Amino acid sequence: MSELSTNHLLGIKYLNLEDIELIFKTADQFKEVINRPIKKVPSLRDITIANLFFENSTRTKLSFELAEKRLSADIINFSAASSSVKKGETLIDTVNNILSMKVDMVVMRHPNAGAGVFLSQHVNASIINAGDGAHEHPTQALLDCYSIKQKYGDIKGLNVVIVGDILHSRVALSNIFALQKLGANVKVCGPATLLPKHIESLGVGIESNLIKALEWCDVANMLRVQNERMNMSFFPSTREYVLQYGLNKKILNALPKKITIMHPGPINRGVEITSDVADSKQSIILEQVENGVAIRMAAIYLLAAKIKHE
Amino acid sequence: MANRQLLIDSKKIHVILHRLVNQLIEKHLDFSNTVLIGLQPRGIDLANRIKKILEEDYQIRNIQLGYLDITFFRDDFRRNEKPLAANQTQIDFLVENKRVVFIDDVLFTGRSIRAALTAVQSFGRPSGIELLTLVDRRFSRHLPIQPDYVGCQVDAINSEKVLVMWQEKDGEDAVYLVEK
C-alpha cells in the first residue's frame, strides 16, 4: 500500500485506516528531512499550490506554506480580506480564476462547513481542507494523532478526552474520527451548551466533570473557547468557565497518573489552560507544531503523486 | 521464480567483497576522513557487509556508516503508476569535507546515483564522492556516471533484472539474472 485511496484531503471521514497509516509512515521520513542541515527536497518542483484562506489563520497557514516550500512547490497565497471576494465574487469563480493560472492543488480554509467538498466537485484540482467552519480540520487531527503515537507508540486502547468548546470546533470532530479509526476511546468534556446535540451518536462518551474526565484519560486535548464564533452567551462568564473547565497545575498534579496535555492553538492562557500547564513537561504542544509540518508535507506529497500532468 | 539464472555464487561473492574492501583500504587507509553511505533500499545490505569485513577482518574501527534514501530526489516522481514509497534515511554525521563512498548493489541507468548526489548535499559539502557497486550493468547508462569500485560487470538486456540476495535477509549470498 503506497497510495492514498482519495484524490483530495477533505476530512478524516473520507480516509480509511490504511490512508492514515501511510500518511504517518511518510511523515516519519519527512520529519527526518526537516531535521537535516538543509531541509528541502526537490520532489514537487513542478507543482503549483494555491493557499486560499477565507478565514484568519497563523499557525496552519505558516505550517502549510513551510511544508510546501520544503517540498520545492511553487506557491501563491490568497487571503479573502484583501481580494475580490469582498467585491462579491463567488467561491467557484475565484478558484477557477486561480486555477486558470495552472495551479495543481488548492489548500483552503473557509468559514462554511462543506466548502472543500463543494469545491472538489466543481473544480479540477486536488483540494486540501485546512479547516471548514465547525466541520473538519483533517491535517490538525492527523498531526495530533501522530504526536500521540510518537509519545505512546500506539494509539489503540488509549483514553483521550477532548475538553472545551466542542460545538464550534472542527478540530474536535476531525480528532474524534481519527482517534476512533486508530482505536482510541474518546470522551468529550465541556459545559452542556458547548456540546453539540447527539454527539453521543458518534460513539463518544460525555463527561461534564473535568476532574473525572482527566482521571479517566491518558491524553487531554484542551480546546480553545472560540469567542469569535459565539453569537450568544454559552456560559455566564469567562471566570465561571475557568473555574469549571480550566486546567491548572494544581489539578494536574493531583491526578493519579501523568497525563499528556495537548492544545491545537492558539492558547487563551489562563482560560482553558494556565501558562504553567502549557509550558510543563507533560505538554506536547510544541511537538504538535513541529509534527504539523511533517504531516502536511506527507499529505501534500502523497496527493501530488496522484496528479498527472498531460 | 521460474526463469532465473545464477550469475555469482556465495563463494565468489566472498572473494569479490574482500577484493572491494582491499581496494577501499588501499585508497582510504584508516578511514579517518571517510564515510560510507549505503543507498536505500538494497545498497544498505552491501554497506553493512563491507563495514563488517573492514572491522572484523582488517581491525579498522570507528567507521562511519549512514543510510541514504533518495526517494524525494528522484526524477521520475509522478511518472510511475504508483507513488514511490520512501525508506529511512539515517545519517548521524555531517559529510562536510569528508570523502564519501556511495555503496549500492546494482548500477543500472545511473539515475539513482544522480539523485543520491543531490540528496547528500543536504548533509554538507563532501570533499569528494566515490561509488562502489557490486554489479555494474554495462552499456545501460542514461547518464555519464561510472563506478570507482566494481564487483563484477554484467551484460543484461532491459527486460531482465539483476537480483542480489544476502544471507542476512534472503537466506543466501547470490546474484541472479531474472526475467521480469
pLDDT interval class at A101 (50, 70, 90): confident
H helices of B33-178, in order, are 43-58, 111-119, 167-170
| CB-CB under 8 Å, B85 with A33 | no
Task: Give, in degrees to the nearest 5, the angle at Cα A162 between A148 and A138.
Answer: 65
Are both A12-137+289-304 and A138-288 of the same fold? Answer: yes
Region of residue B149 (phi > 0: left; psi between -120 and 50: alpha; otherwise: beta): beta
User: Is B112 a residue whose pLDDT tops 60?
Assistant: yes
For residue A78, the model assigns a pLDDT of 84
**Averaged over B154-165, what is the pLDDT?**
88
**Averaged over A13-29, what is the pLDDT?**
95
Cβ(A126)–Cβ(A203) below 8 Å: no
For residue A44, the model assigns a pLDDT of 92
pLDDT interval class at A146 (50, 70, 90): very high
**Averaged over B134-142, what is the pLDDT?**
92
Among the listed ranges A44-53, A226-235, B147-156, B168-177, which one has the minimum average pLDDT value?
Answer: A226-235
pLDDT interval class at A150 (50, 70, 90): very high
Task: Give, in degrees to the nearest 5, the angle at Cα A151 between A148 and A155.
Answer: 45
For B96, the closest chain A residue by CA position comes to A37
CB pairs A-B closer than 8 Å: 60
Q: CA–CA separation, A141 vs B45, rounded Å?
A: 37
- Under CATH, which number does the domain A12-137+289-304 receive? 3.40.50.1370
For chain A, give every domain's residue range.
12-137+289-304, 138-288
Tell me, letter by letter, the H, E, C secondary structure of A180-194: HHCCCEEEEECCHHH
Residue whose entry in the numeric block shows the C-alpha cell 477533505: A10
Give, in order, the Cα–Cα distances in Å from B55 to each of B2, B21, B61, B119, B130. 38, 11, 6, 27, 20
- Nearest chain A CA: its distance from B83 CA (Å): 5
Sign of torsion over alpha carbons A140, A146, A151, A153: positive
User: Is A70 a residue whose pLDDT tops 80?
Assistant: yes
- Nearest chain B CA: its distance from A245 CA (Å): 43
Q: Is the ipTM of this complex over 0.85?
A: no
For residue A56, the model assigns a pLDDT of 84
Residue whose entry in the numeric block shows the C-alpha cell 479517566: A216
| CB-CB under 8 Å, B122 with A38 | yes
Taking only the tens place, the pLDDT of each residue in A240-295 is 899 999 999 999 999 999 999 999 988 989 999 999 999 999 999 999 999 999 99
For residue A41, the model assigns a pLDDT of 92
User: To the nearest whole number, what is the mean pLDDT of chain A?
Assistant: 91
For B71, the closest chain A residue by CA position comes to A43
User: Is B146 a residue whose pLDDT tops 80?
Assistant: yes
Taking only the tens place, the pLDDT of each residue in A182-221 is 999 999 999 999 999 999 999 999 999 999 999 999 999 9
User: Is A308 a residue whose pLDDT tops 80?
Assistant: no
First to last CA, chain B: 10
Taking only the tens place, the pLDDT of each residue in A134-143 is 999 999 999 9
**Least CB-CB distance to A36: which of B84, B87, B123?**
B123
- B 92-131 near A (Cβ less than 8 A): 94, 118-119, 121-124
| CB-CB under 8 Å, A305 with B84 | yes
| CB-CB under 8 Å, A43 with B83 | no
Burial class (CB in 10 A: 0-12, 13-18, 19+), B144: exposed
A34 touches chain B (CB under 8 A): no
Q: CA–CA separation, B18 vs B80, rounded Å?
A: 37
For residue A198, the model assigns a pLDDT of 92
For chain B, give every domain's residue range.
10-74+84-158
Taking only the tens place, the pLDDT of each residue in B79-110 is 766 666 788 888 888 899 999 999 999 999 99
User: Is B54 a residue whose pLDDT tops 80?
Assistant: yes
For residue A238, the model assigns a pLDDT of 87
User: Is B1 a residue whose pLDDT tops 60?
Assistant: no
For residue A228, the model assigns a pLDDT of 74
- The helix/strand count (H/E) of chain B reads as 4, 8
- Nearest chain A CA: its distance from B40 CA (Å): 13
pLDDT interval class at A237 (50, 70, 90): confident
CATH class of B10-74+84-158: alpha beta
For residue B49, the model assigns a pLDDT of 94
User: Is B28 a residue whose pLDDT tops 60?
Assistant: yes
- Nearest chain A CA: its distance from B65 CA (Å): 17
Cell numbers at residue B176, please? Answer: 541472479
For residue A91, the model assigns a pLDDT of 82
- Nearest chain B CA: its distance from A41 CA (Å): 6
For residue A68, the model assigns a pLDDT of 96
**Averaged over A77-89, what is the pLDDT?**
74
A39 touches chain B (CB under 8 A): yes
Q: Show residues of chain B in contact with A38, CB under 8 Å.
A: 121-123
Q: Yes or no: is domain A138-288 CATH 3.40.50.1370?
A: yes
For residue B80, the model assigns a pLDDT of 67
For residue A92, the model assigns a pLDDT of 84
**Averaged over A23-36, what is the pLDDT?**
93
**Averaged over B39-53, what is the pLDDT?**
93
| CB-CB under 8 Å, A309 with B84 | no
| CB-CB under 8 Å, B78 with A307 | yes
**Averaged over B25-39, what is the pLDDT?**
93
- Those residues whose C-beta lies under 8 Å from the C-beta of residue A240, and which sit 6 or more positions away, are none
